[in-house]
Amino acid sequence: EVQLVESGGGLVQPGGSLTLSCAASGLTFSDHYMEWVRQAPGKGLEWVGRSRNKANRYTTEYAASVKGRFTLSRGDSENSLYLQMTSLKTEDTAVYFCTTKIDSPDQMSWGQGTLVTVSS
């Protein structure tokens, strides 16, 4: 069974930085695309970004709202996905979910989410 566990959320001031982690188990991590999806309090879902697998050179895609500020990376030896967030804005306040490939025909997995609060 695939398990995804996010960590690293917390309170950060506007303009600050934070790195989220997603620890994966139950899958061959380097074979899998991974994504981040976020949800602001009381709001809908927003796709944040994609990290492709090793075969696709770990290339990335980002939502326009985070491009240039957020960076996806992976540590395959640790089976972990990272989201480095810089120049944080109050509108980045959200629960951040780590997921497997969102358009895969196979069963899709989600983590439980980690809350990021950007506030002074």
Partner 1 sequence: DIQMTQSPSSLSASVGDRVTITCRASQGIRSGLGWFQQKPGKAPKRLINEASSLQSGVPSRFSGSGSGTEFTLTISSLQPDDFATYYCLQYKTFPFTFGGGTKVEIK
Where does this chain bind partner 1 (CB under 8 A)? 37, 44-47, 50, 61-64, 97, 102-105, 107-108, 110-113
Closest CB to partner 1 among residues 13, 89:
89
CB of 43 to partner 1, least distance (A): 9
- β-bridge pairing 114-118 and 10-12: parallel
Closest CB to partner 1 among residues 28, 112:
112
Question: In the chain, at which residue ranges do the beta strands (DSSP E only) sit?
Answer: 3-7, 10-12, 18-25, 34-39, 45-51, 60-62, 70-75, 80-85, 94-100, 114-118
CB of 63 to partner 1, least distance (A): 5
